[in-house]
Structure 1
Amino acid sequence: MSTPTTPRAVTRADVARYAGVSTSVVSYVVHDGPRPVAADTAARVREAIRVLGYRPNASAQALRTGSSKMLGLIVPELDNPFWSELAVEVTHAAAARGYDVLLANSDGDSVQERERLRTLSARQVDGIIVTSIQTHPDLSTVTDPGIPMVLLNTFFEVPHYVSIGVDACRGALDGTRHLIEHGYDSIGLVMGHAGEMELREQGWMRALRDAGRPDGPIARCDFTRRGGYEAGLRMFGDGTGPRAVFVSSDMQAIGVMRALFELGLRVSEDVAIVSFDGAAEADYTNPQLTTVRQPIEEMAREAVDRVLGGGDEGNRRLVPPELVLGASCGCDVRR
């Protein structure tokens, strides 16, 4: 019995022969340049590609050019709308530079984050953008120490790495001051687990002390809706909770709002809320959340520019946040 043979892969030369052009012309059509191709010639090449079932070999192209035209992106939580929005903006910024994005999810786990770093670097991407919830991410598992890497949405400086993030301390300071301007004497904090005192906590505390207010209660929890819900029950369940609260993420704030509803407390009338992040979901709560918005489009664009070798010099870039007013803080924002 004869052994079946594997069909030979269609090559660029096969397409060129079928279309009656050179292999260079096929390459120009496939890669949209660098030289222009007449419309009728390009149409013949595309028809040859369709008929023959030609699939360009990205690995071979990467070997020839020294570039995979691919960036790696690690996010901690794809089910969190903020991280999803940030990932989308990174893909848009990369596409504008002619790059695709290979996305990996670490589930907010340091072990998985290190593994995703190892696998992405082994795939010979041209650079890696890391969004980490770890205070000090471990970048030692990168198989190619020369690969460009940028830390995105990082609130702190990491020696030897470019990092881009919002000025979180300033954002929390502005958000808490806004609550103080409403006249609230006791302002609590719902804070995600971040190890040492995080910048959002520092901004909240500074605003209170600058105004001569006492430190309000703190409920620590996961950066999730569930975490915020449980923190809200703890902080307000016994009837002695503060009149206002600054929350370290929109997702947590949505959980806090659910807890307040179950406890029979009204948002803004009984408890005022300002949150942090500015995800699109914050625009559709009832009442609409007042939030410290991170400029994710600007941050994503700069991360891509820096990982590809552009942008300003320096290892640390802080982007100013914006306080976006809703009704959850007590403001009258009728539209």
Structure 2
Amino acid sequence: MVKRADVAALAGVSPSVVSYVLNGGPRHVSEPTRLNVLAAVKQLGYTPNALAAGLRRGATKTIGMIMPSPVNPYLAELADQIEEQAAELGYSIQISISRNDREQDIGSIRGLLDRQVDGLIVLSTSAFESLQALGRDQVPIVVIDHISERSRVSSVHVNNELESRKAVHYLHQLGHETIACLSGPQEVPTSDERISGWRLAQQESGFSDSDSLIVRAPYTAQGGWDATAELIDMTNLKPTAVFVASDAQAQGLLAALSERGISVPSEMSVISFDGSATSRFTSPPLTVVMQPAQEIVEIALNELLRKIAEPNSEPAHIVMNCQLIERASTAAPAR
């Protein structure tokens, strides 16, 4: 293994000068010396030990963020908010992407933890499960998603079942009875929670909650586009509205319905979950269940800083309320 002393010997400087160059200080290094050290680093393939550096400093002022791929508009907003608000608190963000592959996730998470981040914000339930498999839950963690309250990890999330139920009852108030449900993949817990809310609302109003009205697709615009054929082929059921589990899917659905000449909302009403900024700019603008992204991130970061300062404190599970924003994608069904 190449050591700092090897770089110093090749560059003709002391090991401390190598540290000054790689850490950007604390002492000034002349430009020719800096370039000479960097050339030696490159020639030897030296990789600094970020873990040791973090331990020497005591705190890295860095937060790790683990987010799933593909990134939908809502998750992108969360990530932007995390970076922006963390910077205001004096922290930088290191990002790791979770791809729902346990071995790949574990490798990516190890790389993130080796940088000795002060804490982790996790936007992916599968990544959280990989973290648990690694046995690294001694690192302060906040999950922005619904996890078991028996977990020793804090979480900030919305009540997916309750908020979905409210959205479907809103469609009932408009006069819709047969309402399809476009949800996410089976392996994503929020998918089932949002289906459960749709099902409860349909049962409470005495309308069909047949599995034939449920379509699953990835939480992407392409997923929504591809699911459209299955939704409009429900000829016997004839839904007049669709509850969609994410804005990304709804965007693909709207585009596909438009291409097929199906008018929204006069022929099909569409309501979606998330309320990302892009939902205002679809055609027509989407009626949404809006998750309070800014407030969720603010609370998640405050909770993470609390856990960093008090690592033995009890975890908190904080449930946020959503807001239904009525726009032009929903209306009373045609009679």
Q: Does 1:187 align with 2:192?
A: no
Match of 2:233 in 1: 237
Match of 1:208 in 2: 202
SS at match of 2:130: coil
Q: Does 1:149 align with 2:154?
A: no
Match of 1:249 in 2: 246
Distance 1:65 1:245, change over 3 A: same
Match of 1:83 in 2: 75
How far residue 114 of structure 1 moved from its aligned partner, in angstroms, is 2.9
How far residue 96 of structure 1 moved from its aligned partner, in angstroms, is 2.2
Distance 1:159 1:11, change over 3 A: same
Equivalent positions of 1:28-39 (< 5 A) are none
In structure 1, what is the Cα distance between the partners aligned to 2:240 and 2:19? 73
In structure 2, what is the Cα distance between the partners aligned to 1:239 and 1:161? 46
Aligned residues, how many? 299
In structure 2, what is the Cα distance between the partners aligned to 1:172 and 1:90? 25
**TM (normalized to structure 2)?**
0.78
SS at match of 1:215: coil
Match of 2:222 in 1: 226
In structure 1, what is the Cα distance between the partners aligned to 2:298 and 2:198? 29
Match of 1:320 in 2: 321
**TM (normalized to structure 1)?**
0.78
Match of 2:4 in 1: none
Equivalent positions of 1:243-322 (< 5 A) are 243-309=240-306, 314-322=315-323
SS at match of 1:146: coil
Query: Deviations 1:11-31 (Å, cap 9, x if unpaired)?
Result: 59999xxxxxxxxxx98xx7x
Q: Which has the higher helix share?
A: 2
Identity %: 29
Which of 152, 166, 175 lines up with 1:160 in the alignment?
152
In structure 1, runs of 5+ residues without a counterpart are 16-25, 31-44
The amino acid that maps onto 1:139 is L
Distance 1:117 1:51, change over 3 A: closer
In structure 2, what is the Cα distance between the partners aligned to 1:14 and 1:170? 54
Comparing 159-168 with 74-83, which one deviates more in the overlay?
A: 74-83
Q: In angstroms, what is the RMSD of aligned CA positions?
A: 3.2
Comparing 121-130 with 191-200, which one deviates more in the overlay?
A: 191-200
Distance 1:231 1:14, change over 3 A: closer
In structure 2, runs of 5+ residues without a counterpart are 1-8, 38-47
In structure 2, what is the Cα distance between the partners aligned to 1:294 and 1:288? 17
